[in-house]
Chain A
Amino acid sequence: MSEKVKVSIDGITIEVEPGTSILNAARIIGGDIVPPAMCYYSKLEGSGGKCRTCLVKVSKGSEKDPRPMPKLVASCRTAVMDGMEVQNITSPEVKEARKGVVEMLLINHPLDCPVCDQAGECHLQDLGYEHGSEATRYEFERRTFDRIDIGDKIQLHMTRCILCYRCVYVADQLTEKREHGILGRGDASEISTYIEKAIENDFSGNVIDVCPVGALTDKTFRFKQRVWFTKPVEAHRDCPTCTGKVSLWYKGEDVIRVTARKDVYGEVEDFICNTCRFEKKNTNDWIIDGPRQISNRSVISSNHYEQLAPPPVVRKNLALQAANKEEFERATKH
């Protein structure tokens, strides 16, 4: 391997392999300085560079050429250079640009979150909440499409799509034959199958998981339950086609949805097959590994009190902490 390069993101310096993108370097550091990404997907080759939410400012190009880059760059597509200095949340310019990008992405989005099944785990919702403005300035007709069934298990709501191309890459890279793609250009472009042809492939269901918005949704879960009323549990099974590692979403006793396990960036750990996703909805099909960790900032974890949040008086006082040792242990056991 060649020598590692030094890059500084928001003042935090890290050494990474040459050729790493700024986004991935930021993800190695982790925390708040990671730029959000709607189209980049680390498991899909060639993804990224479409949504522009990961824009960052490069205030110093490299050690050899210290001039700053003239414009904000997409961090998922820009490789790091030795001595590069990147500003993400420390730059007001980036924040401003990101706000603009969110507004752009929401121009044609129908904002039908109360109806949408993705609400609660939608990346566009999170992005809009964190970086967007409250109101829209757009006053024209939003484009509308009819719902399309892609096979009998997947539904496509083209109105909600932000054209991130992730599902197209899934179809390209996971399945042998791609049957859906993007038709048309510019604002007329849309995801479509040729003559609404059903996708018949073992891994076609993964387009649901990679979709950052509610454009591709599980028809078997349609309007069943809101995400935040379901309880996610990690489980696995011996599957001949995939790894069989999934998250089961329970409502009461019933498994109402099966998805792949997602990491902190909302990317799946392993792609799962359609048999696991759509046909194994009984608890006795699965071996339960334990409860799924959900960020306490997520709406899914709201109204659940598993995490112990001690009052300030306990947080400061060691004697009280020792007295409540049993409660702390119980709360942090999982």
Chain B
Amino acid sequence: MESLSNRKKVIEQKPMTLAERMYLPAIAKGLAITFKHMFKKKETIFYPEQERPISENWRGLHSLKRDENGKERCTACGLCALACPAEAITMIAAERKKGEEHLYREEKYAAVYEVNMLRCIFCGLCEEACPKEAIYLDGPFVGADYLRKDFIYGKDKLVEEPLKS
């Protein structure tokens, strides 16, 4: 049948000539290409020492935000877990006690907040669902690990560093 795109090339297989059978010109040509690339700009970088610039709407590791006074914003309302299409988020709520007002913003907070990074598809729906602007996917890549259980990130890995005063 006739080709539609006309990009098809028919290969002719002729017996090789003596010069071709010696492979010398071919080796020289190949080495020339190799040497040429030695003087070109490198395409690879030394990750993790170096990092590539990331886009503004990049979605990486989740971080649980603090407000301007350093209090945790999350109130464990569960809307992120409800919105999550991969069911990666779980949490347990707790009531703020007297004397913890500087730690948590509202009277309820997430005592446990876990994101299963193996389930997470980094869609950003949790970010959109959050009514308290508490979760953002603004972190780096999720690192590699050996055990499945180590991919369940708890509050120790997710919550932002406390404010330095």
Contact = CB atoms under 8 A, between A and B. Distances in A.
A286 interface: no
B77 A113 contact: yes
Interface in B100-138: 106-108, 131-132
Contacts, number: 37
Contact of A226 (B77, B87, B95, B131): B77
Interface stretch (B23-31, B46-54, B78-86, B141-149): B78-86
B78 A229 contact: yes
A199 B131 CA distance: 36
Contacts of B106: 112, 114-115
B79 A114 contact: yes
Which of B78, B81, B95, B107 gathers most chain A CB within 10 Å?
Answer: B78
A229 B92 CA distance: 12
Nearest to A229: B78
B93 interface: yes
A303 interface: yes
B107 A226 contact: no
B107 A228 contact: no
B109 to A, nearest CB: 9
Given A223-B93, A223-B94, A223-B95, A115 B77 contact: yes
Interface in A246-300: 299
A119 interface: yes
Contacts of A299: 82
Nearest to B95: A223
A112 B79 CA distance: 13
Contacts of A119: 77
Interface residues of A, number: 15
Contacts of B75: 114-115
Nearest to A227: B78
A211 B107 CA distance: 21
A222 interface: yes
Contacts of A226: 77-78, 82, 93
Nearest to B90: A229
Contacts of A114: 75, 77, 79, 106, 108, 131-132
Interface string B50-88: 000000000000000000000000011111011000010
Nearest to A299: B82
Interface in A158-202: none
A302 interface: yes
A115 B131 contact: no
A170 B78 CA distance: 32
Given A112-B106, A115-B107, A228 B78 contact: yes
A222 B132 contact: no
Contacts of B78: 226, 228-229
Contacts of B132: 114
B82 A223 contact: no
A112 B77 CA distance: 10
Interface of B: 75-79, 81-82, 87, 93-95, 106-108, 131-132
19 contacts: A112-B106, A113-B131, A114-B75, A114-B77, A114-B79, A114-B106, A114-B108, A115-B106, A115-B107, A119-B77, A222-B95, A226-B77, A226-B82, A228-B82, A229-B81, A229-B82, A299-B82, A303-B82, A303-B87
Given A113-B77, A302-B82, 8 more contacts: A114-B106, A222-B95, A223-B94, A224-B93, A226-B78, A226-B93, A229-B82, A299-B82
List the 9 closest pairs (A to B, CB-CB), nearest first.
A114-B77, A226-B78, A223-B93, A114-B75, A115-B108, A223-B108, A115-B106, A114-B131, A223-B95
